[in-house]
Structures are given as C-alpha cells and as structure tokens.
Structure 1
Amino acid sequence: MRKLIVIALLLAGLWGGYWFIGAKATERAFAGWIAARQADGWVAEVDDLTTQGFPNRFDTIFTGLELADPDTGLSWIAPEFQILALSYKPHHVIAAWPGTQIIATPLQRIEVSGRDLKGSILVAPTPALTLQRSSIVLEGVNLSSSAGWTSGLERGQFATRQLDSGQNRHEVHFEAVNLTPALSFVQSKDEDDLLPPVFEGVTLKANVDFTAPWNRAAIEEARPQITHIDLTEFKAKWGELELWLAGAVDVDDQGIPTGNITVKARNWHQMIEVARASGALAPSLVSTVTGALQFVAGLSGDEETLDVPLRLSGGTMFLGPIPIGTAPVIVIR
C-alpha cells in the first residue's frame, strides 16, 4: 500500500509539473505571437493573458484584446476571448467569443452580439497549425453596422472539414433559422410589402477551393482566396418564396466568378421584385425579364415554379439569355 501511495504521489507530481510547464509554455507562445504581430506593424494589444484549468485543461483567457492588420484594415476588438483545450490534446480547442465584440474594415464598423458563440477547432499538430475541422454554434446573434444595416439570426451552425480530394479544399456547411438579411429594402417599411423580415430557414452546402491552406499564415500574412466553388445545395424559404441553387463557379485573381448555377424558385415573381427593389435588376429590364421567365416557367407546366440557369461571365450575371446585373466580387479581406 505504501508503494502504491508513493507511486501515486510521484505520478501526481509529474503530471502537475507537466501541467505547470505546459501552461507557462502556452502563455509564452501566445504572448510571443502578440509581440510578433506588433513587430510586423499590427495593432496587437491585450490587457491580460492567463492560462488556467489545472489539472486536465489549458484554458487561456485574453481580456482587453485588440488586433488590427494594417495591410487589410481588418480589426477585431473583444473584451474577452477564450481558447480552451485538454492538456493531453492541445491541438483540439474550443474557442469562446464574448457576448459583444467589434469587427471593423476600412468601410464599416460592425458590432456583433450574441447569447452563445462557441466553436470547436481541430488543427494539425504541427507548427503551421493547419485547420482540419471546425464547427461554430451561433445563438441569438445580432450584427449592427455603422453603414446603416443590421442582421441577425435566432440560431445557426457553421462547419468546415478539410477534404483529401483536392489541394486546400474544404467542405463547408451552414444552417440558420430565422435569419434576418442585411438588406435595407427588406428591413424598411417598403410600400410594396415584398417579404417578411426574416428567412425562415437557410441551408448551404459547398466544396470550396482556396489559394493556400488555412493555417497560422492565413492570420499572420494574408487570407487565402477562393478559386473554385462547387455549390451542392443552397435552399432558403423566405415568406412565400422558396429558392434552390446548385452549380459551380471558378473565381479569378480579382474575385470575379465564372460558371453556371441552376436556379429553382417557387413563387418566383417575388424573386423579380426582390431583385428590382435591391437594385440588382434595372427597372428597364423588369418587364423583359418577367416575360422571358414567364415563358420558361410555362414550359414546365407550372407557371409559379421556375427552373433556369444563372450564368456568370465577364463580371455580369445572366438569367437565361438576359443580363440581370453585376456579378458579386468574391474576396476575403
């Protein structure tokens, strides 16, 4: 019995020593990263940085955190941010964001608030810390921009998984319930009363290729850019409008997409009104587009259901043969 007690005390002492050394090493690593960003010209400040969680966890808590990348103008301010990890599996972490934080770009400042913002992040156990898998849970999230728009969702989940089928390819999945879009014409009291203020449900599934891995360099140097999107499913229910999209596009160095997306819409007349009200469709084209799509829908035997290709080419979107507006520019700051 005495030997067992001695062995148990010895093991406890060794484990305690491991935890203490690991905790201090974790703090030094994060403090060193902050110092390295300052040396690179970033705004990188933290009021306090501590690691706790003895004996089985390395829970690092940042208070008064502020980061700003001078190259992109992207900044993030958080009163508290937590990175939680098991001491025997430090490459699998839980990230916990504060109830309120600020994200800013050169164009706007966005206040983000939420009841629950947590993420599970698994990275490769190498110095590059390449992202392998992530899952972020969102509850009661609201966004308010200095540019005048607001957005939010009741609950949602965003997940990614690195795929072996292509270099720097990730499977992306997003679901949201009661999503309020950042569209001023929807949130205002439009006299046409086009749509309710929220999407009842949104689902997105896609495989996305990037120019580089999502790892430490993606934060420290430059964000990887999208080169290809294979949209396997996008579906949304917005009032009486039900929308499905699927297809694939390539994205060039300027962020301009080229490819074909199949659009299926039930009660599609509302889609035309949304495009008109948002400015995506010029008023002079409304009657032409409506007539053409009425003809296409009629071919299927159901004039309320539309099944038509959306083509993106040369920076322009075409619905069938008709140009309907400028294609979105896809750039990650």
Structure 2
Amino acid sequence: MRKVMWIIALAVLAWCGWWWAASTGLRGGVQGWFDARAAEGWQAELREVQGGGFPVTLQAGLRDVALADPQAGLAIQTDALDISAPAWWPGDVTVALDDEPILIASPLGRSTLTMADGVMALNLHPGTALELEALGWTAGPWQVSDAIGVQAQADDLTLTMVQTEGAQYALTASASTFTPGDAARRGLRLPETFPRSFDSLQLSADITFDQPWDRRALDDRRPQPRVIDLHLVEAIWGDLQFNLSADLTVDTSGVPAGTVAIQAENWRTMLDLAENAGMLPAQLRGQAEGILQALANASGGADTLDVELALRDGAIRLGFIPLAPTPRLILR
C-alpha cells in the first residue's frame, strides 16, 4: 500500500511539474510571438499575460492587446483574449474573444466588432512544423459598426477550415439572418419594403494549396492555392438569388484556369445595387447590362442568368468571346 501511495505521489509531482513547465511555455510563447512581431516592425503590445487552469488546462489571459501589421494595413485592439489548451496537448488551442467591442482598422476605415460568445479553435498536428489540422470560428449574435452606425449584423457566424488530406482543406462559411445596416441600405437605395435580412448566405469549397498550412505561413510565406473546387457560393436576399460554383486550377503566377458556373435571378436589380453602391461606374452600366442581357438570352430567360464561363489564356470567356481578364489569386 505504501508503495502505491509513493507511486501516486510521484505521478502527481510529475504532472504538477509538467503542467508548470507547459503553462510557463505557453505564456512565454505568446510573449515571444509578440516580441517577434515587434521586431518585424509591427505594433505588438499587451499589458500582461495571466496564467491559470491547473491541473488539466493551460491558460493565457492576454490583457490590453494591440496588433498592427503595417504591410497589410490591418490593426486590431481588444481589452482581452483568453487562450486555453488541454495540458496533455497544447496544440489544440481555443481563443475566447472579448464580448466588449473590438477595434479593427484597415485601408477601408475604422470599425468595431461586437460578438457574443466568439470562439476561435485551432487544432495542430504534433511535431515541430505545427501543421494545421483544423481552424474554426463560431459566434452568436454579432455586429460591425462604424462612426455612421451598424454596417452589418447576423444571428451567428460559422467559419471552418479542416484539413482533409495533405495540403487540401475543406472550407465552409455561413451567417444566419445576415442583415446589412441602415447606412448600407441607404447607399444601395433600397425601399423600406425590401427585406432587411438575407435568407441565405453561405460558402463551401475544397482548396488544395502548394504546401500545408503550418508555422511557415507566419515565418516564411503564405501557402498559395493550386486547385479550387468551389462547391457553392449562395446569397439569397428577397427576390435576389445568386449561386456560383467553380472548378479551377491556379498556376504559379496566380492565374486561374477552368470553369465557373453562375446562376442569378433578377440580375438587373443586382446591377442597380452595384451602381448605387459605387461598385459599378455609371458609364459602364450600359456595357455591363448589354453583356448580361446577352448571357441571359443565351440561358433562355430575360431575368435569369444560368451560364458557364471558361477561364483560359488569362481571360474570362463565354464560348470563344473574351469578357474580361482573369484576376490573379495570390495570398499575401
């Protein structure tokens, strides 16, 4: 019996030692990451890193966090980020976002994100490369606001990126009852009778990159897409319905080739919204409408588009007719 008690006591001491070392390593790793970003010219500030979670959880509570990447022009400021991981494998990390407004600045302007129960989960394979197994972001009701008012809000948010094989990842995204703010509605010149919320907003795709996502994505370069199987992009808002799917390969210069299938109902109203929002210059409205009218006639309906476009030789084509140059798909 005494021997058993000694074994238990030694096991407890060993576990306590492991937990202390892993907890210290987690907090030190977080501080080291901030120091490395600061050395690269970022603004990377935090007031303190708190510990906790004994005996089965490792915790790092970040307070007064400010991050800014000068190359991307993106900055984030929040009062708190709480990082936790199981003590037996610190590579399964959960980050709980602050319920208070999070300040976001980008080349598009300054805004605040307010999100209930926002949680980001990161699962890494064991090993020094820290290869990504899965990444997810879920939340309850959220909204994005600026000085004018609410830009957008929704009842929930789901974003996932799951490794299926090697450098291939399955991506999904959805937001229930996505609602543009009043400023956006005014910019689009929507009548009061137009529905306030989307009936559906979702994305599903499989993407194969030139290398798996791992620590090199931060230290070296971003993995680049090479095969894109876009199963569905769907947006349904009142009488407006838009669906897109694609099967593409991307060369080393970022030029895609393949096919894109588009279905759109009430496409003229979509043109009106694009013009009202300033995304479609008035002088190009006639040209765009003429092209879409020809596409609609080819698909057999005046108000419905159902076409397949080909991307080849650096151009988006309808049959043998070039419509526009293909955009480059490069992750910076």
TM-score bin, normalised by smaller chain: 0.7 to 0.9
Correspondence for 1:144? 145
Report the counterpart of residue 103 of structure 1 in structure 2: 104
1:117 paired residue number: 118
Name the structure 2 match of 1:296.
Answer: 298
**Alpha-carbon distance between aligned partners in 2 of 1:2 and 1:197, rounded to the nearest angstrom:** 71
Q: Tell me the secondary structure at the aligned position of residue 177 of structure 1.
A: coil
Q: Is the 8 A contact 1:276 1:286 kept in 2?
A: no
- CA distance, structure 2, for counterparts of residue 109 and residue 179 of structure 1: 21
State the TM-score, normalizing by the size of structure 1. 0.82
**Under a length normalisation based on structure 2, what TM-score does the superposition of the two structures give?**
0.82
2:127 corresponding residue in structure 1: 126
Q: Is the 8 A contact 2:119 2:137 kept in 1?
A: yes
Alpha-carbon distance in structure 2 between the residues aligned to 1:184 and 1:326: 32
Alignment-derived partner of residue 284 in structure 1? 286
Q: Report the Cα distance in structure 2 between the residues aligned to 1:195 and 1:318, rounded to whole angstroms.
A: 34
Partner of 1:75: 75
**Per-residue deviation at 1:254?**
7.0
Number of aligned pairs? 328
Q: Distance in 2 between matches of 1:218 and 1:143?
A: 28
Using the TM superposition, give the Cα deviation of residue 170 of structure 1 relative to its aligned residue in structure 2, in angstroms. Answer: 1.4
**Letter paired with 2:246:** G
Indicate if the aligned counterparts of 1:50 and 1:60 stay in contact, CA closer than 8 A: yes
Letter in 1 for 2:172: H
Residue 266 of structure 1 is matched in structure 2 by 265
The answer to whether the 8 A contact 2:143-2:150 is kept is no
Against the structure 1 CA distance between its residues 192 and 108, is the aligned structure 2 distance closer, same or farther, given a 3 Å change threshold?
A: same
In 2, the alpha carbon distance for the partners of 1:115 and 1:253 equals: 40
Unpaired runs of 5+ in structure 1?
none
How many angstroms does 1:118 deviate by? 0.4
Deviation at 1:214, TM superposition (A): 2.4
Q: Which runs of 5+ in 2 are unaligned?
A: none
> How far apart are the structure 2 equivalents of 1:53 and 1:332?
37
Contact 1:51 1:58 in 2 (8 A): yes
Deviation, 1:21, is: 2.0
Partner of 1:161: 162
Local SS of the residue matching 1:88 = coil
Superposition deviation, residue 52 in structure 1: 0.9
Deviation at 1:155, TM superposition (A): 0.9
**SS of residue paired to 1:116:** coil
Structure 2 distance, partners of 1:88, 1:73, is 37
Q: Deviations over 1:93-150 (max 9, x none)?
A: 1111222223333453332211121022111222232211122112222223579982
Deviations 1:225-253 (A, max 9, x none): 44442211122211112222111234567
> CA 1:38 to 1:188, structure 2 compared with 1: closer, same or farther past 3 Å?
closer
State the identity %: 28
What per-residue deviation string (whole Å, max 9, x for no partner) do you get for residues 197-235 of structure 1?
Answer: 432211211112334432223234444344442211122
Counterpart of 1:30?
Answer: 30
TM-align CA RMSD: 3.5
